[in-house]
Homo-oligomer: A and B are copies of this chain.
Amino acid sequence: MIKIGIAGYGNLGKGVEKAIELNSDMKLSAVFTRRNPKNIKLRTDSAQVIEYNRIAEFKNEIDVIINCGGSACDLPLTTPKIAEYFNVIDSFDTHTRIKEHFDAVDKISKSSKKTAIISVGWDPGLFSLARIYSQAVLSSGNTYTFWGRGVSQGHSDAVRRIDGVLDARQYTVPVMSAIEKVQNGDNADFSAREMHTRECYVVAENGANKKEIERKIKTMPNYFADYDTTVNFISEEEMKHSHSGLPHGGRVIRNGKTDENINHTVEFSLKLDSNPEFTGSILAAFARAAYRLNKKGETGCRTVLDIPPVLLLPESINTMKLL
């Protein structure tokens, strides 16, 4: 049994816990939290809830820590620290800062002789794998990534920060006609606006200036200004009833040629009822790989691109049958 620890018990941590239940070669040993452990009730009766600052005490009792903190402020600080004592997995997803995070984690995990795998999830993660395999087998071509329809937490948070907004949910929606173009081998050049639209559902305070909220959303740089955005004001009840899930998905499509009129299309797509539960499942599979790499003495930091796929499944499964 691979003994797993979860650091952080939000949506993602809870998703990892469910994934561990579904994998018979793993068990959850402990959840580490910055909240009061007494206020946390796990699904897993046999696991402990421990204060985060006591994590190092468990270094001989846990094989891999799955770090479920946020990318912006938490993971860059905590993953390197955890790597001093543990094999560690995280889902760091700030694409432009992955190299920096990698180097920090690599340095520490090499000296502690631990194995870390960072930026595990579906993007970065499974989508990165789709990009590397499709580029490797179609060296001449173009790769397109479409996200959604799904809830973007970052964009939802951005709307929530606007004055007069009580709650908000933002869906990223791919433009179907663009997807169809790419699927049909059209190597088009798209603007951001041509690939995705943004749909916002907003609960406003009583008496708030809705026109002004809508204007602020639609003109927000980086988040909305470059997209066709629709804003729908709804009641708290409707938010709860129709927008409580965290569905997501998307697709990576590569078009390539092997001769003038010989086109090939490779597509990888996901349709997910729960983004954190699916991401949690991916983290659990890569935790298994980290554990096995470490047993083989392969220490330091890795990304999903470095991992032989065979290490992701329990050793009890005859992977030859999947060929």
CB of B263 within 8 A of CB of A273, answer: yes
Q: Is A312's beta carbon under 8 Å from chain B?
A: yes
Q: Is A36's beta carbon under 8 Å from chain B?
A: no
CB of A322 within 8 A of CB of B264, answer: no
- Of B265, B274, B323, the residue contacting A258 (CB under 8 A) is B274
CB of A126 within 8 A of CB of B136, answer: no
Tell me the A10-46 residues at the B interface (CB within 8 Å): 15, 18-19, 22-23
CB of A98 within 8 A of CB of B323, answer: yes
Per the bound structure, the CA–CA distance linking A116 and B313 in Å amounts to 23
Q: Is A280's beta carbon under 8 Å from chain B?
A: yes
Interface size on A, residues (CB 8 A): 64
Q: Is A170's beta carbon under 8 Å from chain B?
A: no
Chain A 150-168, CB-CB to B under 8 Å as 1, else 0, gives 0000000000000000000
CB of A280 within 8 A of CB of B264, answer: no
A126 in contact with B119 given A258-B281, A309-B132, A310-B132 (CB within 8 Å): no
Chain B residue contacts of A22, Cβ below 8 A: 139-140, 258
A261 in contact with B281 given A135-B313, A309-B132 (CB within 8 Å): no
Chain B residue contacts of A322, Cβ below 8 A: 128, 131-132, 135, 305
CB of B320 within 8 A of CB of A139, answer: no
Chain B residue contacts of A185, Cβ below 8 A: 271
In the complex, which residue of chain B has the Cβ closest to the Cβ of A19?
B258
CB of A282 within 8 A of CB of B137, answer: yes
Within the complex, the shortest CB–CB distance from A304 to chain B, in Å, comes to 8
Within the complex, the shortest CB–CB distance from A89 to chain B, in Å, comes to 13
Per the bound structure, the CA–CA distance linking A99 and B318 in Å amounts to 11
CB of A273 within 8 A of CB of B261, answer: yes
15 A-B pairs besides A183-B271, A264-B277 with CB distance below 8 A are: A22-B258, A129-B133, A132-B310, A132-B313, A135-B317, A137-B285, A138-B278, A256-B281, A258-B274, A267-B268, A268-B269, A303-B320, A305-B319, A305-B323, A306-B309
Query: Which 5 A/B pairs are nearest by Cβ-Cβ distance?
Result: A136-B312, A258-B277, A136-B285, A124-B323, A265-B271
